[in-house]
């Protein structure tokens, strides 16, 4: 089991963004950094803050980190527990979709580093992830949906919420150096701004 607690630091995790046009970073106000949690949460604790304005109608915001020391040449099933801080009211409506039910929280595992690579969608250059995360509500080979961004109370108050992967775990074979890249992020169809803190990620590896 690999447990990452972001109370004091980023634990060497790295933030990133995908599914947006090249050169739009400024107008989308993309931010990924370690920050103290907001009130009324415990402000002596920190988390992996990430935020962006979804002007592209399809923004993926993520943090990634490595698990090392795994056995090479064998497949693992990976199950996740993620704790997130969110102030999005459960079930609220919004522009183009809900900031809750149209913002899908995903977890991923890959033996290559997830990188937002510049490509061409047909009418403009844009950034796309180099692993299969699926799109918005759809899971992919390397990432699955585990929930949405809304909190539990239904009010615009910062709360901690725990999400767990379902009965079908991800499958991954480590890289030759025994490492696997882990990922947590949001795939958004909500055409507004999303801000979240990831406070804890636990990945349980089971040999298959």
CATH (domain of 78): 2.60.120
Q: Contact 148/139 with Cβ under 8 angstroms?
A: no
- What predicted TM-score, i.e. pTM, was given to this entire model? 0.95
Quote the CA–CA distance of 199 and 47 in Å, as a whole number: 5
Expressed as residue numbers, the domain containing 123 is: 2-207
Q: Contact 133/110 with Cβ under 8 angstroms?
A: no
Enumerate residues 6+ apart whose C-beta is below 8 A from 93.
Answer: none
Q: Contact 182/62 with Cβ under 8 angstroms?
A: no
Per-residue pLDDT of the chain (208 residues; tens, 9 = 90+): 999 999 999 999 999 999 999 999 999 999 999 999 999 999 999 999 999 999 878 899 999 999 999 999 999 999 999 999 999 999 888 777 899 999 999 999 999 999 999 987 667 789 999 999 999 999 999 999 999 999 998 899 999 999 999 888 899 999 999 999 999 999 998 989 999 999 999 999 999 8
Quote the CA–CA distance of 183 and 113 in Å, as a whole number: 10
Count of domains observed in the chain: 1
């Amino acid at each position: 089991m690999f447990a990452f607690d972001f109370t004091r630091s980023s634990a060497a995790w790295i933030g990133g963004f995908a599914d947006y046009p090249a050169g739009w970073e400024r107008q989308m106000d993309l931010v990924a950094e370690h920050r103290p949690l907001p009130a009324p949460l415990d402000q002596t604790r920190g988390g992996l803050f990430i935020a962006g304005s979804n002007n592209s109608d399809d923004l993926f915001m993520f943090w990634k980190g490595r698990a090392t020391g795994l056995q090479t040449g064998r497949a693992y099933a990976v199950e996740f527990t993620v704790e997130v801080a969110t102030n999005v009211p459960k079930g609220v409506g919004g522009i183009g979709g809900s900031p809750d039910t149209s913002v899908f929280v995903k977890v991923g595992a890959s033996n290559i580093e997830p990188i937002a690579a510049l490509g061409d969608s047909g009418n403009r250059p844009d950034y796309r992830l180099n692993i299969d995360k699926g799109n918005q509500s759809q899971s992919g080979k390397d990432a699955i949906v585990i929930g949405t961004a809304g909190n539990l109370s239904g009010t615009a108050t910062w709360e901690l919420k725990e999400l767990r992967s379902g009965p079908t775990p991800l499958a991954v074979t480590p890289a030759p150096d025994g490492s696997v890249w882990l990922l947590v992020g949001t795939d958004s169809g909500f055409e507004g701004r999303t801000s979240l803190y990831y406070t804890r990620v636990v990945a349980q590896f089971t040999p298959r």
